[in-house]
């Protein structure tokens, strides 16, 4: 904890001072984040850092393996769905971004079973991603982790469309759903295209335009 408090003191002396006017404006006018980001809780895949976002720009939900459960009004508490509802219906974000990542422990648990010490909740949570596992299992064993990590993003995007007010907002052109994949080994972000393929070239606009210029 001491290291965290040290970090807080650096925040107060650095970031807080630099962003003070932004925080004051945000507290006065309220938040208007440009996007809802749904990411894994993994400590190596922080959306705020990956997107180099400022305070107030991203409304973030993080959970094991960046999963979205299907829309279900069963009367039980739904932490993920309630945060989605707030971001979409109250804050009216224009974009939802689901970001998966490499070396995901949640996906590993899905494919191979959760370790015994996390069996109370992780196994059951990861059952949401069973369709992603089924698709991954058709591939050679060494590719399954990578495929399933990408499939988990596609599945979350599909599950988002089961929320009636998300579907209607998407159909009306007021909301877009986006998929991304962050490789923690290389720091590269891939983006899911209309063709259903994750591609890093879609996030490297600068490099692409330079290449075009050279041609
Ligand atoms: Zn993960």
List, for residues 161-201, the tens digit of each pLDDT value. Answer: 999 999 999 999 999 999 999 999 999 999 999 999 999 98
Let me know if 210 is exposed, middle or buried by CB neighbors in 10 A (0-12, 13-18, 19+): exposed
Using the mean position of ligand 1's atoms as its centre, give its distance from the Cα of residue 108 in Å: 9
pLDDT at 214: 44
Instruction: Indicate the range of 66-80, 158-172, 193-207 predicted with least confidence.
Output: 193-207
CA of 22 to the centre of ligand 1 (A): 31
Residue 204 in this model has a pLDDT that exceeds 90: no
- Residue 43 Cα to ligand 1 midpoint, Å, equals 9
Residue 212 has pLDDT above 50, yes or no: no
- Structure confidence at residue 215 as a pLDDT band (50, 70, 90): very low
CB 33 within 8 A of CB 96: no
List pLDDT tens digits, range 16-35: 999 999 999 999 999 999 99
Q: What is the pLDDT of residue 56?
A: 94
Give CA–CA dist 148/190, Å, rounded.
15
């Amino acid at each position: 904890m001491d290291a965290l408090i040290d970090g807080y003191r650096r925040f107060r002396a650095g970031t807080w001072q630099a962003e003070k006017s932004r925080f004051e404006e945000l507290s006065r006018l309220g938040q208007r984040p440009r996007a809802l980001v749904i990411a894994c809780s993994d400590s190596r895949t922080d959306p705020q850092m990956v997107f180099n976002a400022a305070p107030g720009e991203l409304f973030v939900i993080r959970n094991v393996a960046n999963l979205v459960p299907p829309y279900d009004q069963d009367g039980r508490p739904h932490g993920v769905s309630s945060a989605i509802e707030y971001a979409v219906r109250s804050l009216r974000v224009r974009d939802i971004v689901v970001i998966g990542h490499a070396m995901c422990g949640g996906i590993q648990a899905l494919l191979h079973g959760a370790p015994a010490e996390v069996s109370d909740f992780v196994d059951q949570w990861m059952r949401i991603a069973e369709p992603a596992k089924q698709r991954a299992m058709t591939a050679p064993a060494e590719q399954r982790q990578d495929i399933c990590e990408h499939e988990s993003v596609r599945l979350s995007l599909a599950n988002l469309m089961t929320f009636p007010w998300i579907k209607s907002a998407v159909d009306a052109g007021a909301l877009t759903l986006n998929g991304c994949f962050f490789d923690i080994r290389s720091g590269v972000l891939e983006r899911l295209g209309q063709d259903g393929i994750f591609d890093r070239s879609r996030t490297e606009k600068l490099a692409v335009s330079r290449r075009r210029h050279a041609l």
